[in-house]
Structure 1
Amino acid sequence: MILHPTRLLFYSTLILGTLIAISSSSWLGAWVGLEINLLSFIPLMSDKTNQFSTEAALKYFLTQALASAILIFGAVCLGLSTQFGSSYHFNSSTLNILISATLLLKMGAAPFHFWFPGVMEGLNWINGLILMTWQKIAPLMLVSYVFNPSLISFGFIFMCALAGGLGGFNQTSLRKIMAYSSINHLGWMLAATLLGASYWITYFLFYSFLSSCVVLLFNLFNLSHINQVFSLPVSNPVFKMALFCNLLSLGGLPPFLGFLPKWIIIQGMVAAGYNFMITIMVLLTLIALYFYMRIGYSAFMLAHHETKWIVAPFSSSLAQSLTITSLTLSLFGLLLCSSVILIL
């Protein structure tokens, strides 16, 4: 239960760990914040009703412990090379790449994403949402300090966009689809770190909002697989409209709100001269958009059987308000934001 006193304690230390990591002035302080964050999230992953939660917690702990060990090693080496200079033969650019790779492993970015879909599969929707959004704040903030325009950085961005697009092709689990979607969006956020903090923070806020809308709708109807989406009651056309508009918005289809952060990044990348890179990213995002459209098109267009005993929670005021709000923002958010920008 989310309001249990123990869980409230761990949620508090989870937030505290992230705040320590992003406000620290040294790599040691950032490492301490990441460790507090890690040790707070693992107890929250336990769920008696989910038999895979223990396996997910173990995978997450081992991966994060490995990343933390490499991070503190890289930070110590970087400190020694800075303090003692040539007496320690450490190349600062190599250490920056090592620290960047470690932080990418912590956030589940490609090519270090091997653990992320498996851990997502073992979590409930609320913990999965935390893993996709809040748990990425500290590593993204730290990686923005050491990420600079280079061939290796562009390689990481390209692999995130490619793995996020191709990975969701043959998935039937909604949790894994959301995991690969998160990996694809990480490629855009890493590209945004090359442009400045305001770019990636803006993109992250939009991504977190849209992911929250989709995940809360999945959680409301207790959906886990694509075939459950197909058998949703047709008596709830507004819910279906809200769900699929949010999915297409998360994919970045132009009429929806999710296109706005991609539009901002595209303009920034073109202004910075990264024309080839942004072209590749847009093309790979179209691949990721395919598996969103596959869910929506099949559920809307194909005939399906509807069971008589499905009791839809749409009659509740919470479900109605959440659905109507998310649908309105997804449909008209881009228009409203564009109007505000024009006025200003």
Structure 2
Amino acid sequence: MLMLPVTLMMLFLLLISILMILSSSSMFSMWLALEINTISFTTIIHMHKTQESSESCIKYFLPQALGSSIFVFSMLFISLFPNSEIPTLSSLFAMAIKLGLPPFHHWFPNVASKIPWHKNIMLMTLQKIPPLFIIFHLSAPTYSILPFIFSSLLLGPIGGLNQTNLKQLLAFSSITHMGWMLSSYLLSNLLCFMYLTMYSFLISSLILSLKMKINSLNQLMLFSQTSSSKILFVFLLLSLAGLPPLTGFFPKWLVITMTQNPFITMMLIISAILNLFFYLRLLYPFLFLHSPFMFWIPPQMNLKTPILLWGSLFLLPVSMPLTLFFY
């Protein structure tokens, strides 16, 4: 009975910590908000008190604590080396650990595979906002961000190629999208925020369309076989993959067309193609394989599907004006 009040309180603290970071101007207040954010989300992970939740709680807390410690030391470096880039670079490394960017990414898929789907939504959306905003505040030099961009664009698709666990597969997909977000950050903070917003909308819609009951590729055969369910799931998945003319294509198109460095552009295109490959792997068992055990199928979806699930198509009128705005 105490779980609901505690959960609501932790969610409230989580949102307050995000708002504190967005409104902070000093590194100390940002660090304080980061600690509140870490404690609240760690408590949310451990709420069910199972062996998996305890394991994921430790795996999440240790990298976050390490990132916060490095961030504190970077504040000390500012007083010792006021004109040096050491504080900025150390703070960037701290945020890379918190975001799960390669080569500090190993905790991210492990935690994602152990926690429920609704907590994965928070891990892949809300928990990206504080570290990204601190990176905006740091104004880190381009040469320090490029290694994280290239490693995310390569290791994300490669890590997802041999995955059968859906949670880990979407975690590696999230790492790939972080490479796109950092590439958009080099162009414009507003473009990065737009990419994060659209990605959060699409990944939340995709997870909700799975009804939070499917954890592996084999279980996609047991998904509802109604035509409306198939159409919605396919469009959401292809939109997340960035296939034109769906919503997820427009932020990627903006990043590619606005990037002046041909090497970064080539890396973005290769990463998008590899990413599309393992998204299509999800569609194969869903569209072409059928389970003989029809009584295992979750309850069918109808045309009263939640509004979020239609976002892959209906956000097109919103995406086009934003595209024209950036040009």
Q: Same fold by TM-score, threshold 0.5 exceeded? A: yes
Pick the structure with greater CA Rg: 1
CA pair 49-304 structure 1, distance change in 2 beyond 3 A: farther
Q: Does 1:321 align with 2:282?
A: no
Do the aligned partners of 2:228 and 2:301 also contact (CA within 8 Å) in 1? no
Alignment-mate amino acid for residue 202 of structure 1: M
2:163 to 160, 171, 186: 171
The match for 2:127 is 135
Alignment-mate amino acid for residue 240 of structure 1: K
Whole-Å separation in 2 of the counterparts to 1:68 and 1:334 = 39
The match for 1:88 is none
Whole-Å separation in 1 of the counterparts to 2:41 and 2:173 = 22
CA pair 98-342 structure 1, distance change in 2 beyond 3 A: closer
Q: Does 1:281 align with 2:273?
A: no
Whole-Å separation in 2 of the counterparts to 1:195 and 1:135 = 22
Deviations 1:319-342 (A, max 9, x none): x322xx455431353366327866
Do the aligned partners of 2:89 and 2:140 also contact (CA within 8 Å) in 1? no
- How many angstroms does 1:111 deviate by? 1.7
The match for 2:24 is 24
- How many angstroms does 1:202 deviate by? 0.5
- Aligned-residue identity in percent: 34
Alignment-mate amino acid for residue 329 of structure 1: G
CA pair 54-188 structure 1, distance change in 2 beyond 3 A: same
SS class of match (1:314): coil
CA pair 66-146 structure 1, distance change in 2 beyond 3 A: same
- How many angstroms does 1:151 deviate by? 3.0
The match for 1:231 is 222
1:251 to 235, 238, 241: 241
SS class of match (2:294): coil
Whole-Å separation in 2 of the counterparts to 1:39 and 1:204 = 23
The match for 1:11 is 11
Superposition CA RMSD, Å: 2.4
The match for 1:263 is 253
Q: Which shows bigger deviation, 175-184 or 246-255?
A: 246-255
Whole-Å separation in 2 of the counterparts to 1:32 and 1:109 = 22
Whole-Å separation in 2 of the counterparts to 1:128 and 1:186 = 16
Do the aligned partners of 1:241 and 1:327 also contact (CA within 8 Å) in 2? no
Alignment-mate amino acid for residue 244 of structure 2: P
- How many angstroms does 1:29 deviate by? 0.8
- How many angstroms does 1:81 deviate by? 2.1
Deviations 1:234-283 (A, max 9, x none): 2x1221221122111111111211001111222322xxx22321221121
Gaps of 5+ in 2: none
Do the aligned partners of 1:42 and 1:61 also contact (CA within 8 Å) in 2? yes
Do the aligned partners of 2:125 and 2:200 also contact (CA within 8 Å) in 1? yes
Deviations 1:166-217 (A, max 9, x none): 1101101110011001100000111111122211110010000001101112
Q: Does 1:114 align with 2:106?
A: yes
The match for 1:89 is none
2:316 to 330, 334, 339: 334
The TM-score with structure 1 as length reference comes to: 0.88
CA pair 245-315 structure 1, distance change in 2 beyond 3 A: closer
- How many angstroms does 1:288 deviate by? 1.1
Q: Which shows bigger deviation, 30-39 or 191-200?
A: 191-200
- How many angstroms does 1:154 deviate by? 1.2
Deviations 1:282-314 (A, max 9, x none): 21121011110111133213x432313235322
Count of residue pairs the alignment pairs up: 326
Whole-Å separation in 2 of the counterparts to 1:295 and 1:202 = 26
> Following superposition, which runs of at least 4 residues in structure 1 exceed 4 angstroms of deviation?
339-344
Whole-Å separation in 2 of the counterparts to 1:110 and 1:37 = 22
The TM-score with structure 2 as length reference comes to: 0.92
Do the aligned partners of 2:217 and 2:285 also contact (CA within 8 Å) in 1? no
Do the aligned partners of 1:221 and 1:313 also contact (CA within 8 Å) in 2? no
Do the aligned partners of 2:92 and 2:140 also contact (CA within 8 Å) in 1? no
Q: Which shows bigger deviation, 165-174 or 138-147?
A: 138-147
Whole-Å separation in 1 of the counterparts to 2:120 and 2:322 = 33
Do the aligned partners of 2:222 and 2:296 also contact (CA within 8 Å) in 1? no
Whole-Å separation in 2 of the counterparts to 1:326 and 1:113 = 29
Do the aligned partners of 1:165 and 1:181 also contact (CA within 8 Å) in 2? yes
